[in-house]
Chain A
């Protein structure tokens, strides 16, 4: 196991954004995010000796990280679903003026994703990460047709949400 450490650390460093994104999508507060990041890193390290390269490292990493996140989420984070990615403003009124259209839309997207069920959330993250349907199907263990249908349904809901807000 020790022999694999430098290689594992290099890969972890290279793909760490995956962990950040998943932790931010599944956890509301900073301490939960830290715990989840730790748990994901631990499980990745624990499983690394079984990684045989039959799939891309990122595919394998998404599987482990999402599985851990869903398990963690179901066990600990049952209440509250608003993701806070930015520091809270000192004065909400000042902040409101500075809020750009882009930030507002990012907020809507984050809120929408946070409200999705665990499995749909995983699906949406993979879709937004521009993964091909075949890879999403491989990670989630569902058919490509199912991937396409579900993504289309979720997107419709999201578009509806955006159009309601922007009216």
Chain B
């Protein structure tokens, strides 16, 4: 088959194109009123919801610390650490939202798709939140508890705290895009529908690399 024949076929199919799509002034007016819901705005909305929830949680934690007035050092340090992790997470999410707002579709296809896929895969950037886990097992510690529970504290509370620390560090170090080939990482992400898009984004990044090669 000749190239010209292919082009002719392509031209011939133009006659059969579905041209009923809405591309009119009315639609443009609607867009200006922000009635059009962009797909990407959807992603920004999810991140914005996370920011709102994060801020509410930060305020709650702040109130708890304020209420405690540093009477219990274990409580203050634990809640303070959780507070810091959540402040960082909110900053990361705000950064994501700003990146989404800056997405430039007029870039070259491979350039824009690379940026979009990186953005999609960026959920991994908040995996540092795992590191707050051990502090959930220490906030209720107190001098009285340590003195009163004797050996039980050293046999139960401390090992639980240590175990959670090891687990949190291990998850932080291993749950990364580079380890997607590992079954458990893959399974962990696939178990959450929201995270499946991360795998697709990673796969597409590989596809773009191959395409550019």
Alpha-carbon distance A130/B104, docked complex (angstroms):
26
Cβ–Cβ < 8 Å partners of B28 in chain A: 5, 9, 41, 45
Shortest distance between the CB of A88 and any CB in chain B (Å): 13
Shortest distance between the CB of B118 and any CB in chain A (Å): 13
Q: List 23 contacting pairs A-B, 8 Å CB cutoff, sorted by A.
A: A9-B25, A9-B28, A16-B23, A17-B17, A20-B17, A23-B18, A23-B21, A33-B18, A43-B38, A51-B106, A67-B105, A71-B39, A85-B17, A86-B16, A102-B9, A109-B13, A110-B13, A117-B207, A119-B208, A140-B108, A140-B110, A142-B110, A142-B212
For the residues of B in contact with A, the DSSP-based class is helix
Q: Is B147 in the interface zone, CB < 8 Å from A? A: no
Q: Which of B1, B10, B21, B40 contacts A20 (CB 8 A)?
A: B21
Q: Is B144 in the interface zone, CB < 8 Å from A? A: no
Shortest distance between the CB of B148 and any CB in chain A (Å): 56
Shortest distance between the CB of A134 and any CB in chain B (Å): 13
Cβ–Cβ < 8 Å partners of A110 in chain B: 13
B1 touches A106 (CB 8 A): no
Supplied contacts A63-B106, A68-B105, A119-B207, 12 more A-B pairs, CB within 8 Å: A16-B23, A20-B17, A20-B19, A33-B18, A41-B27, A67-B105, A70-B109, A74-B204, A76-B39, A118-B204, A140-B109, A158-B6
Scan residues 164-213 of chain B and give those whose CB is less than 8 A from a CB of chain A. Answer: 197, 200, 204, 207-208, 211-213
Count of chain A residues near B, Cβ 8 A: 64
For the residues of A in contact with B, the DSSP-based class is helix
Which residues does B use to contact A, with CB under 8 Å?
Answer: 1, 3, 6-7, 9-10, 12-14, 16-23, 25, 27-28, 31-32, 36, 38-40, 104-113, 116, 197, 200, 204, 207-208, 211-213
B211 touches A60 (CB 8 A): no
A24 touches B18 (CB 8 A): yes
Given contacts A37-B23, A74-B204, A142-B110, contact A85 B105 (CB under 8 A): no
Cβ–Cβ < 8 Å partners of A142 in chain B: 110, 211-212
The residue in chain A whose Cβ has the minimal distance to the Cβ of B6 is A128
A85 touches B13 (CB 8 A): yes
Alpha-carbon distance A139/B109, docked complex (angstroms):
6
Q: Is A72 in the interface zone, CB < 8 Å from B? A: yes
Cβ–Cβ < 8 Å partners of A82 in chain B: none
A63 touches B105 (CB 8 A): yes
